Structure 1
Amino acid sequence: MNRSYAFAPPAATLRQRAGRVLAPVALLLALATSAYAQDGSFRHEVLMRGQILEADAGALVVCVGEADGAQVGQVLDVVRHKRIARGPKAAGPRFRREPVGQVRITELFDTHYAQAQVVTGKPKVNDTVELIR
């Protein structure tokens, strides 16, 4: 017994319709994101970012150097990443940024490392240093 239903098109027809609809949508998304990337209105505000590797009586070794564009005299902000206590199923970020202070680059001794001194705050090993535009 062969039944034909007027309200249910064959599966192949549904796939063809979906393909006709999804292809232009995918193309529009691709064009929109590429145009936005070339726009230039979006810029990353952090010019340089590294980490404090060593801290000894106010003298610091930071993981930013000539290769990152570091220069003697630059003042970098210091940020500490703190874990947020929350429930296991809670949504959202698990860390927050906590401003700690500032450091000044006093010497570049490698393409990737520099000596710095504390300007303000109490930076510790593993804190992040960054130069913001």
Structure 2
Amino acid sequence: MYLNEKDHTKDYKSLVRTHREIRIGDTTVKIGRKRSIGEYQPRKFELERTNVWSFPEGGGNSPKRLQEKLASQMVRNLILRYSKPEERILDQICGSGTVLKECKILGRRDIGVDINYDYINANFDRLNFDYTH
């Protein structure tokens, strides 16, 4: 399965019409509503200047119901350092969607792939927020 708006929108909209939440393991995730993001970048973010990076906060920049496994600071550093706006980024194991969220905020086009169909739906829902550059 992959997260691609053209191919997945119909399935996602059908799911939202019939369900208000999905379960991923032991976690229940509400779906079908417009999202808002309180912070558009990690706190105290600075582009790393050395080849030794430390992110002690880990992936704590999202609601606990669908916890990010990657630190947003790390993902943001990689995207800013190795891509340009409008370039396409492939996340082959998109999981909770940290890379996809950062791509949307930083103006990169993204493709998310995951073996778990529920994660695809949760990410489609999670990326349902407005952000203009």
TM-score by structure 1 length? 0.23
> Whose helix proportion is higher, 1 or 2?
2
Please identify the structure whose Cα radius of gyration is greater. 1
> Whose strand proportion is higher, 1 or 2?
1
TM-score by structure 2 length? 0.23
